[in-house]
């Protein structure tokens, strides 16, 4: 999936290439992304499936099946104190949702927390755009 977005750093168009493949070079790869869930809410998701739905006389529509990272986490563990990273937790896979591809804002790097199942840390210091987006979310 090719996601074009406007960088918050220099307002230039930037592109992320997201993968959703059970056999990407012999290994499963299901990337993460930041999406616009509602007009006021952005969330992190894991891609599960990308598909196109064609409806006669209406055209084709592109969708993604994604696993939201919106499960509640204890407030004291929500921010990693040492690395200052935000922690998110996946909902059960059965709670996955369908979204239009137009909902994607950009790709995201989430690192699994080995000590807590289904919890990930959002890596926001790899690029300036994600750093600024995460600072805007905290306010």
Which strand (E) or helix (H) includes residue 79?
Answer: strand 79-80
Q: How far is CA 119 from the centre of its chain?
A: 13
pLDDT of 74 over the 90 cut: no
In angstroms, the CA 19 to CA 32 distance is: 9
* Per-residue pLDDT tens over the stretch 97-121: 999 999 999 999 999 988 888 899 9
Neighbouring C-beta atoms of residue 68, cutoff 10 Å:
19
pTM over 0.75: yes
Residue pair 120/83 in contact (Cβ under 8 Å)? The answer is: no
Mean of pLDDT over the chain: 91
pLDDT of 78 over the 70 cut: no
In angstroms, the CA 18 to CA 33 distance is: 8
Which strand (E) or helix (H) includes residue 29?
Answer: strand 27-30
């Amino acid at each position: 999936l090719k996601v074009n977005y406007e960088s918050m750093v220099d307002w230039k168009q930037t592109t992320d290439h997201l993968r959703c493949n059970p056999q990407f070079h012999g290994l499963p790869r299901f990337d993460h992304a930041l999406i616009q869930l509602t007009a006021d809410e952005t969330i992190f998701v894991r891609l599960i499936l990308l598909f196109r739905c064609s409806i006669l006389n209406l055209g084709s529509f592109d969708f993604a099946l994604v696993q939201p990272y919106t499960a509640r986490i204890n407030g004291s563990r929500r921010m990693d104190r040492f690395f200052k990273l935000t922690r998110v937790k996946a909902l059960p896979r059965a709670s996955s949702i369908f979204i239009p591809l137009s909902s994607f804002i950009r790709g995201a790097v989430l690192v699994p927390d080995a000590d807590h199942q289904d919890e990930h840390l959002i890596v926001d210091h790899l690029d300036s755009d994600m750093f600024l987006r995460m600072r805007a979310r905290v306010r």
